Amino acid sequence: MPNVSRKAALDRIVETIVYLTTESRRLARESAAAHGLTATQVSVMKLLDAIGDLSLSSLSVRIGANNSTVTGVIDRMERDGLVQRRRSGEDRRVVYIELTSRGRKLASDAKVDPMQLFRALLEDLPSRDAAELERITTKLVARVREIISAEDVVEERA
| pLDDT at 74 exceeding the cut of 90 | yes
Q: Which helix (H) or strand (E) holds 34?
A: helix 2-34
| pLDDT at 15 exceeding the cut of 90 | yes
| pLDDT at 156 exceeding the cut of 80 | no
| pLDDT at 114 exceeding the cut of 70 | no
∠ CA 83-50-86 to the nearest 5 degrees? 30
| pLDDT at 115 exceeding the cut of 80 | no
Determine whether domain 2-124 maps to CATH 1.25.40.10. Answer: no
19-39 average pLDDT score: 86
Band (104; pLDDT cuts 50, 70, 90): very high
- C-alpha span between 75 and 68 (Å, rounded): 10
| pLDDT at 111 exceeding the cut of 90 | no
| Residue of 90, 82, 96, 94 lying closest to 51 (CA atoms) | 96
88-94 average pLDDT score: 87
- C-alpha span between 37 and 79 (Å, rounded): 13
Band (101; pLDDT cuts 50, 70, 90): very high
Q: What is the pLDDT of residue 153?
A: 62
| Residue of 12, 13, 21, 117 lying closest to 64 (CA atoms) | 21
Q: Report if pTM > 0.85.
A: no
Band (128; pLDDT cuts 50, 70, 90): very high
% of the chain exceeding 90 in pLDDT: 46
∠ CA 22-66-148 to the nearest 5 degrees? 75
Which residue has better confidence, 132 or 155? 132
Which residue has better confidence, 128 or 88? 128
Q: What is the pLDDT of residue 2?
A: 64
Which residue has better confidence, 150 or 155? 150
